[in-house]
Amino acid sequence: MKRVILSCALLLAAVLGYAQGAKKPTIMVVPSDVWCIQNGYYTTFDNQGTEEKVPDYTKAIQGDADLLLVTSKLGELMAERGFPLRSMEAMLKRLKTEEAEESLTMSKETGAELAESPLDKLKRVARADIWMQVTWTVNRIGRDVSVTFNLQGLDAYTDKQVAAGSGTSAPEPAAWMELPVTLSEAVNANLEDFCNQLMAHFQDMETKGREIALTCRCWSDSEYDFESEVGGDELGFLIEDWVAANTVEGRFTTADASESRMYFEQVRIPLFNENGRALDARSWANGLRRELREKYGIESKLTIRGLGQAILTIGGK
């Protein structure tokens, strides 16, 4: 079985080698929900009276040596191709430490609580730009067996699927089958389409810009909110105008706009700035932070999640 998983890791890493960009995203390999539940790596919680099963990644990474083998091997191969791979095991340990040290997020200057609910625990675990969800199954029908695989590339912050591949090998007698060979045949039969999806995603970024998300919010003790009059207009509209002027062909969607929070999605930013330097969400949103400080005297704190999401909090550092 370890040979099957290792073959899956090698093939997945080869596919990811197609991804060439101005600034490559951090990737974290995670087992799919189905794989976790089928292998007993899940926990239950009460969702408004309904008991639901959710993946327990900590239990999976600590209890399954095969899964650790996959993530470790992918790390080596991805590094060779210039793609940084975030260790799920290391991120889970970091999350546990942070939870022990911090009970809530507060303003550095005033100690005021954020005017927003704490981040969802699962999203805080997902400290990578792309989740590569992996599923593999050995099917047994009488004396015959086949191997089914499923790969999904998910943008961790836009929740969009950017690539997918799946397939099942032809049944053959269990005594004859070599699992790595059978799995390779199943993947190769579907590999071209998966690669085309990846290439289409990167070509889309080249023509329409890199997609990110921007959240603007206020400290609860902030002097300003997004309905405050600043420079002849409401602060929220000034921010929206800046976003429109600094995106590729003005491509973005204002998904939420209230007194204390604004959320912009499908924000398309240039791959490079005027100096030829690759842009990510942090470097792009820093322009908005400087604009607010230098033009209107408004201080704000800029934080990020990976390359793809910037959070600007108005009213202090």
Domain ranges of the chain: 2-86+128-207, 209-314
Q: Three-state DSSP class for 106?
A: strand
- What is the predicted pLDDT for the residue at 34? 84
Q: What local confidence, expressed as pLDDT, does residue 139 receive?
A: 85
One digit per residue, the tens of pLDDT, for the chain of length 317 reads 545 444 444 444 444 444 344 445 567 778 888 888 989 999 887 766 778 888 888 888 888 776 776 566 555 655 655 556 777 777 777 767 766 655 444 444 444 443 332 234 444 455 566 777 878 777 888 888 887 878 787 776 677 898 887 878 788 887 666 654 565 566 566 656 765 676 677 778 778 988 999 999 999 889 999 999 998 999 999 999 999 999 999 999 999 999 999 999 999 999 888 888 878 888 999 999 999 999 999 999 998 776 688 999 998 87
CA nearest neighbour of 33 among 12, 63, 54, 5: 54
- Specify the pLDDT at position 188: 60
